[in-house]
Amino acid sequence: MAPLAPMAQQAPSTHPVAFLARRATMALAAAAVLGGAAAPAAYAVDGADGAPAAGSPKKLPEGLYGTKDPQYDGVWRQSLALLAQHTVGVRPATSAVRWLVGQQCADGAFTAFRAEPGKPCDAKTMRDTNQTAAAVQALAALGGHDETVQKAVNWLKSVQNDDGGWSSMAGSPSDANSTSVVIGALAAAGAKPESVTSKKGGRTPYDGLLTFRLGCDVKEGERGAFTFQLKGAAANADATAAAATGALGKGFVVAPAGGAADTPVKPLSCKDGKADGKSGDKGPAAAEGGAGYLVAQLDKSGHHLLSAMPGQEKQPDVGNTADAVVALAAGGHRSAAQQPLKWLEKNAAAWARQNGPAAYAQLVLAAHATGTDPRSFGGTDLVTALNATGPEPAGTTTPGKNARPAKDSDGGVNVWWIVGVGLAVGAGIGFLLSGRRKKNDL
């Protein structure tokens, strides 16, 4: 078998790196269940003994969450971990925040991982809108990093596509997931997404996002869903979950509804071949249609969403189900979010242990959005488990909560699975990552 091609050699328009890393956590867990997971790259946590000896595991930088190779998801998993900790009242370690800030390029962009932060980014540095937008959401929430956040926002604005959206890699065609995570970043930074317009055409991020929405011209079961990239492609649950949140101008953190009235889910309804909905209400209407599609998919498969690896049967997609819970909560669909939430409480703990900080963070954020205690999530203390994947937190802002973790070896995503998926995409056979078919794994 030929060696796996490095991710950098794949066409950027077909594999947004942070999206790929995020969805690959589910693929890794599924592979482990099937007995086919590849051996992860060996890394050692940074210590006081300096550089590792020849032949020993590589050493991770101080402050980084997880113990797996950060080449493709370092900034992503760090950002989600910091954001989830802040959301539940944990003050992250100074070293963890310092590491994230130090990953920024001079032009404001972030890449997935810079092994030498002191070395300036050059033209070969793979700047990534997903990693950048995730860092913005984390640092904006933590506060005290206005200059870093503003530089990142300015860079994101500078690479906005003419259709109003974004791709993971600047210059590539827009996709629903990248556009949604940037909308969340703009909102978190205090910039109104609707006021951010493309230089050519003056289109907003919402204009770009709605180009991926499937309407009345598709079969009934797909109406209201979003495709990952190309309009006319198949409905995609992962893109729909992201877009249903982004269309409401919300990011990773969704405030629990509290005592607000529960909003019934209404699937997209078509009359005379046209979708119902008030003029000027495209964002909320699109989010509602997306929620309707997600609920139908959840009900069909037993309260969780499905994904599949190339050549394998479909598997429960824990990460995508968590995203769907957040999307439903964002739309005020509290009752609809309960069944997939209960499924997560029963089934997500092993997945999170396998995949580390970003996985724990997704579950913490799903719990937060639904008003569920993340410290008692189906018998798992997600907060303590998340804390244990990184440096000891500086403290807690929640009275009576102990933020001191017990260090363990939970890590990030399996880098070789990511590379393998990248190869599959390059060959045109990646079910998990094919935007033209059903891009909803990790």
pTM, rounded to two decimals: 0.81
Is residue 228 within 8 A of residue 307, CB to CB? The reply is no
CA torsion angle for 208, 209, 212, 218 (degrees, to 10)?
Answer: -110
Taking the C-alpha atoms of residue 402 and residue 148, their distance in angstroms, rounded to an integer, is 30
Is residue 180 within 8 A of residue 327, CB to CB? The reply is no
pLDDT of 313 reads 83
pLDDT of 16 reads 45
Query: Of the given ranges (120-124, 140-144, 224-228, 406-410), which has the lowest mean pLDDT?
Result: 406-410
pLDDT in tens, 159-196: 999 999 999 999 999 999 999 999 999 999 999 999 99
pLDDT of 382 reads 98
Which residue type sits at 211? T
Which residue type sits at 140? A
CA nearest neighbour of 324 among 293, 353, 354: 293
Residues 6+ apart with CB under 8 A from 55: none
The two structure tokens encoding residue 80? 């989600």
Residue 408: CB atoms within 10 Å: 12
CA nearest neighbour of 341 among 298, 403, 375, 404: 298
Residue 95: CB atoms within 10 Å: 16
Kindly list the distances between the CA atom of residue 98 and the CA atoms of 92, 95, 117, 142, 145, in Å, as whole numbers in the listed order: 10, 5, 11, 12, 10
pLDDT in tens, 25-40: 444 443 443 334 444 4
pLDDT of 365 reads 98
Residue 267: CB atoms within 10 Å: 17
What is the average pLDDT across 246-272?
A: 87
Kindly list the distances between the CA atom of residue 76 and the CA atoms of 138, 292, 312, 323, 362, in Å, as whole numbers in the listed order: 10, 29, 27, 15, 12
The two structure tokens encoding residue 181? 């995570």
User: Does the pLDDT at position 411 exceed 50?
Assistant: no
Query: Of the given ranges (12-21, 128-137, 210-219, 361-370), which has the lowest mean pLDDT?
Result: 12-21
